[in-house]
Amino acid sequence: MKPKSTTVMQDIALGRDPNEREKAILESDADAASAWVQAAAWAVAISTTYSHARKDSDASMYGGRSDALRHFLWNAYMAFMVGEDKAKQLADAHESELEPADKSMAVDREMDYRNNAAGRRLGAFTRGEGALTRAFGLSLMAAAGVSYLNDGSLTVLDKRDNANWKLVPSNTQGID
């Protein structure tokens, strides 16, 4: 049986196969569902476009700079739309509640958490400015995300030693 929702955005969100923790939030909060859907689509579009400028776009999308940018932007937009606390609830619900299967997966999860938190801080700040239009806020957040990648403020995975992944600043040489 299809879950009952109240808005088109909730229908879209629930149609994207959220996990049970996400589903509980999305079913009960139309604003959160709208922010979740819009933020995810925007963050994927920006980070995918960014990845095409990289030498190794596949590596960049998993554990690399584009992945860091996607998580940062997704959380920034959600925090801009529904506030930092609700954005954290949504992002934390998205991450698996199971213990990571190995050290590499634990490091990957930590990368996501760090970049999510950085994005939420910027989104909350941008939301706090009040008079910013959504279009200007999104432009500011996208530009800031790329700037943060370049100055090392975001976190990526160094997977050069396949047996020992580690977190490094996003401007680390040799990491895409």
CA 97/CA 107 separation, integer angstroms: 15
Question: For each of the chain's 176 residues, which pLDDT tens digit applies?
Answer: 455 558 899 999 998 889 999 999 999 999 999 999 999 999 999 999 888 887 766 667 788 999 999 999 999 999 999 999 999 999 999 987 777 677 878 898 999 999 999 999 999 988 887 766 778 888 999 999 999 999 999 999 998 888 889 999 999 988 86
H or E element at residue 166: strand 166-169
In this prediction, residue 2 carries a pLDDT of 54
